[in-house]
Structure 1
Amino acid sequence: MAKRNNDNQSIQDVLKEFVSSNNLQTGLDKVDVRDAWINLMGNGVNNYTTAIELKHETLYVQLSSSVLREELSYGKEKIIAMLNEAIGKNVIKKLVLR
């Protein structure tokens, strides 16, 4: 059973404590990465994106267009930097386009 605190805490602090005590941060990072990809890449790229998955600091993106995959491969480092900046922390170290 969780301990009870008599002093007042903000909701933000309570949620942070809950996330860290239940090891939920990796799942939240996966959702944040997916949302950041959708927001940053726009409709043109999202129409050809079939799957986005984050595993151990590596982002796997499956694309249905080989031409787009080749085009995006030239800017991998920039894409990683933009996604990490949008998330607010360095979650992605490597980008694999499939």
Structure 2
Amino acid sequence: MAKRLNDNNSIGDVLKEFIGANRLQPGIDKIEVRDAWKNLMGNGVNNYTSEIMLKNGTLYVALTSAVLREELSYGKEKIVKMINEDLGREVVKEVILR
């Protein structure tokens, strides 16, 4: 049976404990990184993005434009920094553009 928390806990604390106890954070991270990419890159890049996948701290992004892939490859560190700032913690350590 689940342990009972006292009545003074906030909903945020209870949700954090639930997420941690059920090991849901990696799945939530995948969704948040996908949303952060879409919000930060804008429609121009999103039109050429076919797949976004987070695996072991590495963000894999499949692009349909070789020109865009080359252009974004120059700013990989900036992309990592922007996504991590948007999420408020370090989730992405590297970006691989395909």
TM-score by length of 2: 0.96
* Match of residue 19 from structure 1: 19
Extract structure 1 runs of 4+ deviating beyond 4 A. none
Gaps of 5+ in 1: none
Question: Deviation of residue 8 (structure 1)?
Answer: 3.0
Q: For the residues of structure 2 that align with 1:74 and 1:6, how far apart are their CA atoms?
A: 51
Percent identical residues = 68
Match of 1:4, SS? coil
| Paired positions, count | 98
* Match of residue 65 from structure 2: 65
The Cα RMSD (Å) is 0.9
Task: Write the letter of the residue equivalent to 1:25.
Answer: Q
Question: Deviation of residue 6 (structure 1)?
Answer: 4.1
Q: For the residues of structure 2 that align with 1:5 and 1:27, how far apart are their CA atoms?
A: 25
Q: For the residues of structure 2 that align with 1:29 and 1:44, how far apart are their CA atoms?
A: 24
